[in-house]
Amino acid sequence: MKIITWNVNSIRLRSRLIYKILELENPEILCLQECKSPTENMPFDIFKPLGYKYSACWGQKSYNGVAFISKIPLDKIEKKDFLKCGEARHISIVARGLTIHNFYFPAGGDIPDSNLNKKFHFKLEYIKEVENYFNKKKPSRSILVGDLNIAPESDDVWDHKKLLNVVSHTPIEVNQLKNLQKTGDWVDVFRKHNPKGKYFSWWSYRSKDWKLSNKGRRLDHIWVSADIRNSTNCYILRSVRDWDKTSDHAPVVAELKI
DNA sequence: ATGGTCGCATGGCGA
């Protein structure tokens, strides 16, 4: 089973690019974040000719928003409002006996200090709340994907030392993410298949030449519960970042033995 | 140290 996760940064503006990814990669399920659209305006119908008959989403006007586009039926759709913030940051489904959690974690603002920056405080609290959830309900036959807005390892950023005080790579949030990973006994599928080397899934729009400078971060993740750790491959579709009018994130693909 | 670019929605916020 092939699963792709992509922070699409507007599902409506990028619907043609989504179509192209589905055509090229043919995953069973595509998981999207930052759809930035109300549910009723999400363009799911255009993917039906490719066999993607099923969808599920939690839409929100302008901000956030998570969605699934699928070839296989999606059951037990749940949207968890962690911290009761009312922001569309989580949706989960069950397909072929697997639970897939699709997350868009808070970015956390610019200042990495909870006392000075309530967005950073919110990010840390959000992760704690997710950890509490998976502590009470230990994941089995589960997958966790999404834009977690944290690059945990040195090799997940272009310069570890320069980014130690930059939100997305600070020790406090990295530790929080690792606690969540440990609590759920989650396996980072990407690093299982690519244990060494610099790999990124996000490059800022602001750089003149993103490929040349390559100042990226690996913010997008695919984790699986330990009982289904026999994945076969995981890779980033880096070339998508070079497409015309694309997202600032590249999709991440996982192939699982299910 | 600063500003650089996007998307949404049409001013300014969030990333």
Please report residues contacting nucleic strand B, using a CB cutoff of 7 A: A 9-10, 12-13, 36-37, 61-63, 106-107, 109, 119, 149, 204-206, 245
Mention the CATH class of domain A2-256. Answer: alpha beta
Smallest CA–C1' separation from A247: which nucleotide?
A: B6
Taking C1' of B4 and every protein CA, the nearest residue is: A206
Smallest CA–C1' separation from A119: which nucleotide?
A: B14
Q: Which nucleotides of B are covered by protein (CB under 7 A)?
A: 3-9, 14-15
CB atoms within 10 A of CB A202: 21
Tell me the pairing of strands A29-33 and A2-7: parallel
Instruction: Give residue A232's pLDDT.
Output: 87
Taking C1' of B6 and every protein CA, the nearest residue is: A205
pLDDT of A63 higher than 90: yes
Instruction: Give residue A145's pLDDT.
Output: 98
pLDDT of A94 higher than 90: yes
Instruction: Give residue A230's pLDDT.
Output: 85
Q: How far is the CA of A204 from the C1' of B14 (A)?
A: 14
Smallest CA–C1' separation from A246: which nucleotide?
A: B6
Instruction: Give residue A128's pLDDT.
Output: 98
Taking C1' of B8 and every protein CA, the nearest residue is: A62
Tens digit of each residue's pLDDT (9 = 90 or more) over A215-239: 999 999 999 999 998 888 999 999 9
Instruction: Give residue A17's pLDDT.
Output: 98
* Percent of chain A at pLDDT exceeding 90: 98
Instruction: Give residue A99's pLDDT.
Output: 98
Taking C1' of B9 and every protein CA, the nearest residue is: A62
Smallest CA–C1' separation from A147: which nucleotide?
A: B15
Q: How far is the CA of A246 from the C1' of B4 (A)?
A: 18
Average pLDDT over residues A96-125: 97
Confidence (pTM): 0.98
Instruction: Give residue A54's pLDDT.
Output: 98
CB atoms within 10 A of CB A165: 12
